Structures are given as C-alpha cells and as structure tokens.
C-alpha cells in the first residue's frame, strides 16, 4: 500500500484504486475560514487527522531508517509528497461564491506530524481570486474520488474567524444522501452511479460551511 495513490486516488501509480468507489482512508477534519480586515476571505486553515491503519502504512513507506517512527526529515518528505500529489484535487478544499466554484491556490507547505499512532497534516490555502464577504459563500473539504472520507465530527470544526464575519449568517450544511439523490435524479448520470470517482458529483454530498453575507 503506497501513500501517493491513496491520498491522490485517481492519479494511480501503484494500484488500480479509481474503480473502488468507497472510502479506504478516514480522516477527521477541521476547517477555519479567515476573514481579513479588508473584508475578503484571506485564507483557509486545514487540519486533518488520519486513521491509525492508514497512518501506519505511511510510517512503513517513509520510515527510511527503520526506527518505527517518522523523523523530521521523513515528515517533511510526506508533506512534500502530498503537496504535489493533491494539487490536481485542489487539496480536497472546495470554495464557491454564489454557486460559482473558486479556485484554490497551492499552499506554501504542508506540515505533517505523527502523534499517538495518527498522522496529522496542517496547511493553509488561499482563494485563487479576491472573495469579498458578499452573497452566499461555501467552504468544505472532501475527496472528489470518494477514496478518502473527510469527516467533520462536530459543527464546531467548521469555523469562521474574524470580526468581518460578524455581519454574516453562519450555517453548517450536512446534506442528506437520500434527499440529494431525489433532488438531483435528472443530473446524476449513470456514470456517477456506476463509478462516482472522477465525476465530482460527490460535492453534493459533502458537509460544508455556508456563510450568507
């Protein structure tokens, strides 16, 4: 089991995982959306904590000196691998402005730690264009290939940071799968039902933070 294809399912280098349309990696996520003093979204702070089985597989792959842990240089190598492999997936970070998708900029670095048998990742991304706090803005974290399950255990793990958000209404939306299927029956293609990977329709099912300003 290799780290790169597991994190970037769909860019398969070592195993044919794209056809497996259910999660094989599980992570608890936290997302902080930060408003700048200029009244725009300045950055999104991600924290991911991965399940112990996947974390152990990463240790096996990146523990070059076989000391059963990840040393600073090995953690840095994990971060570098993820930085490159998740770029085409926008780092699992989804942003929309009045329903229009907003590109995500590449983070400077992905920081990685390994504690209590679990891999943690910390990184910041910025919208690819200026995002004034106006209209309906949504922010979420999901894997479009459905290979990794990114879960927000609590609504408090989706946070709006900054005084400028005070004038906005905050809501955490957790879509009901049955309702999504019923409401989008006409637009959900046969390809999605046979193999959701690569269709990006999984965004309809993803938990998101919705700010109405």
Is the pLDDT at 4 greater than 80, yes or no? no
36 vs 13, which has greater pLDDT?
36
More confident residue, 143 or 200: 143
Give 20-58 pLDDT, tens digit per residue. Answer: 455 678 999 999 999 999 999 999 999 999 999 989 989
Strand segments, DSSP code E, in the chain are: 25-35, 41-50, 93-97, 100-101, 111-115, 118-125, 136-141, 148-151, 158-161, 169-173, 208-212
Distance in angstroms (rounded) separating the CA atoms of residues 9 and 17? 6
Number of domains making up the chain: 1
> What are φ and ψ of residue 152, in 5° steps?
-100, 105
pLDDT at 17: 39
3-class DSSP state of 126: coil
Tokens of 29: 């996520």
CA distance 188 to 206: 15
Q: Are 171 and 212 in contact (CB under 8 A)?
A: yes
Q: Dihedrals φ, ψ of 85, to 5°?
A: -75, -25
CA 208 to each of CA 10, 30, 172: distance values in angstroms, whole numbers, following the listed order: 23, 11, 6
| pLDDT score at 190 | 52
* CB of 33 closer than 8 Å to CB of 209: yes
Rg (C-alpha) for the chain, rounded Å, is 18
Note the pLDDT of residue 149. Answer: 87
Distance CA(32)–CA(206), nearest Å, equals 16
Q: Which contacts qualify for 81-86: CB closer than 8 Å, 24 or more apart?
A: 81/3, 81/4, 81/7, 82/7, 82/110, 82/112, 82/121, 83/107, 83/109, 83/110, 85/4, 85/7, 85/8, 85/11, 86/7, 86/8
The percent of residues above 70 in pLDDT, for the chain, comes to 75
The phi and psi torsions of 13 (rounded to 5 degrees) equal -115, -30
Q: What percent of the chain has pLDDT over 90?
A: 61
Q: Which domain covers residue 170, as residue numbers?
A: 3-212
Residue carrying structure tokens 């049955």? 178
pLDDT digits (tens, 9 = 90+) for 68-121: 889 999 999 999 999 998 988 899 999 999 999 999 999 999 999 999 999 999
């Amino acid at each position: 089991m290799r780290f790169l294809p597991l994190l970037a399912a769909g860019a398969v280098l070592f195993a044919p995982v794209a056809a497996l349309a259910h999660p094989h990696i599980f992570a608890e996520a936290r997302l902080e959306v930060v408003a700048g003093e200029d009244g725009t979204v300045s950055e999104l702070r991600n924290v991911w904590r991965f399940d112990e089985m996947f974390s152990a597989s990463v240790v096996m792959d990146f523990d070059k000196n076989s000391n059963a842990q990840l040393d600073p240089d090995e953690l840095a190598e994990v971060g570098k691998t993820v930085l490159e492999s998740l770029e085409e997936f926008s780092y699992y970070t989804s942003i929309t402005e009045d329903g229009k998708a907003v590109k995500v900029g590449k983070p400077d670095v992905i920081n990685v730690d390994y504690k209590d048998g679990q891999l943690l990742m910390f990184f910041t991304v910025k919208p690819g264009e200026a995002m004034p706090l106006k209209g309906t803005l949504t922010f979420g974290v999901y894997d479009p290939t459905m290979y990794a399950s990114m879960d927000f255990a609590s609504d408090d793990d989706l946070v709006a940071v900054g005084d400028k958000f005070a004038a906005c209404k905050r809501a955490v939306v957790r879509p009901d799968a049955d309702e999504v299927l019923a409401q989008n029956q006409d637009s959900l293609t046969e390809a999605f039902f046979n193999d959701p990977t690569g269709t990006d329709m999984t965004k309809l099912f993803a938990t998101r933070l919705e700010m109405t300003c």
